[in-house]
Structure 1
């Protein structure tokens, strides 16, 4: 009888521990698993603004700036600065990657087609734009899970706080800098970090 009771107690304890890990915020979603297995941004595939699959390893050897963008934000004019950076450093191997997201007060409500049209007509954006994703929360895109997780990015980890957060990626796919929404693309700090990464 004691053995049966002990066995039941062990089963209950194991079940409790399993339940705890399932509901204690541990990252167990497919996006989290994919992000935690990744070694660099090159391990991810995303869809561009036209819905075509793009493997980020196609940018291997280039310096990247990954930015979550929005069309109806106070920082939306940063599109202009980002495009300026892209044109200035493109020949040296620098690329801006724009990821529209509607995570903050509905400031990116448009479809991919509408976003593409807005960017081209308003700011003449030529740098690569990607399909709208979620950059935080339960439906967070795996790439952004990788960029913000302490397990994969201990130095620059932390939730995306608003539109136009910027991650600078070196030629080997490593995150080397992160800039907040209010860090203007044309600022000396941003330009300096890009030039350092391009060397």
Structure 2
């Protein structure tokens, strides 16, 4: 009986449920406001980034995504979204650099964790490809190294970050950076999901308009 108030049926449970409901509503309202703020601030840049990505795909470019922790899962979601969108949407070549455990652990063990994405871009990346880095802080050394490698190789370099952008905001050559102005990791990742889905939709629209 770790939580006896759950079984007491008294006012303690009612108070707890009221707190849970209030907290849920506050969090839902917060993420709605944050998503609106990000889309309003970056609407034009999202459209410009989508045009650049569409141009890259038209020319045979590929999308490489990467991140750490929860952002690595988001990176895989981005790659899956572009590669296997479902319906009538156009599948586009995309690869998450977080999925090959052998490569990630070999580079981490033999060289250093800071190169796990940069080395893969050095091997696979070509001019005209796209590199998309996802981070909540914007300060991950391996993401900064990968973005610098991407710009050296003539790739389209795109970053998603939170807080104030961190080191990503100071990375030279970055073509597009979308910063979610929050200090909550959860709200940042929720808003970033909206950002990359918007990028996907806008990219698909650009490619569809070309076909018409």
Query: What is the TM-score with the length of structure 2 in the denominator?
Result: 0.34
Query: What is the TM-score with the length of structure 1 in the denominator?
Result: 0.35
